Every structure is written in C-alpha cells, then in structure tokens.
Amino acid sequence: MNLVIDAGNTAVKLAVFDRDKLVRLVIIPYEETISGLEKLFSSYPEISHAMLSAVGPWEFTSDQWLPASCTLVVLDAQTRLPFRLLYDTPETLGKDRIALAAAALSAYPGKNALVIDAGTCITYDLITDQKEYRGGAISPGLQMRYRALHDGTAGLPLLEPEVPEQLTGTSTSGSIHSGVVLGICYEIQGVIEEYRALFPDLTVILTGGDAQFLSKQLKNTIFAHSNFLLQGLNLLLEHNKS
C-alpha cells in the first residue's frame, strides 16, 4: 500500500492507496500531522511506500513519523517522471502542477490534455500525446481577485463569490461579481480556444477548490474530482518504486 502526503499552505492531506484505489483520505491541520500519521500507519501496517509533496510549512523530519519499514520519496526537481519535462526552470515548477500532469497522463493516455486547476491561483498545464509536459500559465484565482479589488481600493467591499445574474452589473456588488466571475470564465474559455487551435483533439480537465463553482459557467470541460492531484502523486510514487 502507498501513502501520499500533500502538504499544502494551510492543511495536510494524507491519502492511503491500494495500488490505484484510494482507500482512506484524512485532511488535518499541521499541528496534528505527527499524530495523524501515527494513526494511519497503525491502521494500515501494509503501507510500504510514501510520497511527500510539500508546498507549505513542512518542518517534520522523517525520523519523527516514518517507520523503518516504509520507503520515502520526496517530490522535487530530481524525481523521476513518466513524461518528458520541457520546462526551462524545472526547479521552480510547482509540485502540484507536476502531479496534475501525471494524473492527466494516467487518466487520458495518448491524449493532448490541458489541466486547469482553479485554486488559490489558476494554473494551466499542457501535456501532449507524446508524453511531453510543455508548461502553461498562472493567474490569480477567484478569492484572490475579490480580495485584490477590496485591498487595492478605498471603497470596494469584500464579497463572497456569487454567480452574476447578468453581464451588465447594475450595482457595485453586481459589477464586481460580473467582473470577477465572468472575467475568469472568459479567461479560461479564451485559453482553451487558443490551445484547441494548436491541438484540435484537446482534452480539457478542470479541477481544484473552485472547479465546481466555475464548471457551471464553463462548457467543453471535464470536471475532475477533488482527489485528482492525489491520484497524480500516487502515480508518481508507483513510477519511482522501481
């Protein structure tokens, strides 16, 4: 069995896989990480391999939580990948983007795929049918855009995301919702159209925390469940076992 650790900015996801099947998922704050790991290893003594992907404040050494019987792979720029990385600065490439590319490769083999991750930021990642990761783009996410309007001005309120009733806002709140939500949707649709001009058979995958909210406004995308990134990390772990 495998253990995948996705250490984000505010919380840690612990996922136990039996080959490619997710059998347990625990989401905990950082202060509960060690106890959470101890409980998982106690419940699943068959775990023999683990992968750590840390983008947040991970400060734990392996001897604090890793049993001697378990092999650890830390995702970094030197990790073996199941695709060719065509990125000028691989050392700066986000671990989440690597994992999402791996998940797309696994879920849609032999396809040109664009993975759109709608989270804190919106990332676009292209992997081709030749197993080549080409890169993509990064732009501000939904909450970040709402906060930027509030923090960067003297009079605009901080609003919760809401689907606008119409294109033309007839109030300040309506104008903000139109600008933020429809602005993101037009951006995503525009990026998809540009990539489809290059790859007509493109498979488009939408994932991330805001994917469900945005999917109602977007067409021609495949809505991926929230565990898509974890599946990608598990695939990378399997690839590195040998």
As annotated, the binding site includes: 6-13, 87, 94-97, 117, 120, 172
Report yes or no: 57 and 210 within 8 Å, Cβ to Cβ. no
Measuring CA to CA, which residue among 203, 215, 234 is closest to residue 126? 203
Binding site, annotated residues for substrate:
87, 94-97, 172
Matching residue, tokens 């406004």: 217
Residues belonging to the binding site for ATP are 6-13, 120
Burial class from Cβ neighbours inside 10 Å (0-12, 13-18, 19+) for residue 59 reads exposed
Q: Please say whether the beta carbons of 146 and 158 come within 8 A.
A: yes
Q: Which amino acid is at 20?
A: D
Beta bridge partners of residue 4, listed in sequence order: 15, 51
Please, what is the end-to-end C-alpha distance for the chain in angstroms?
Answer: 15
CA 48: distance to chain centroid?
25
Annotated binding site for K(+): 117
Q: Which is catalytic among the residues 18, 76, 88, 96?
A: 96
- Residue of 17, 31, 215, 212 lying closest to 106 (CA atoms): 17
Given its phi and psi angles, is residue 135 left (phi above 0), alpha (psi -120 to 50 degrees) or beta?
Answer: left
Does residue 18 have an active-site annotation?
A: no
User: What are the residue numbers of the active site?
Assistant: 96
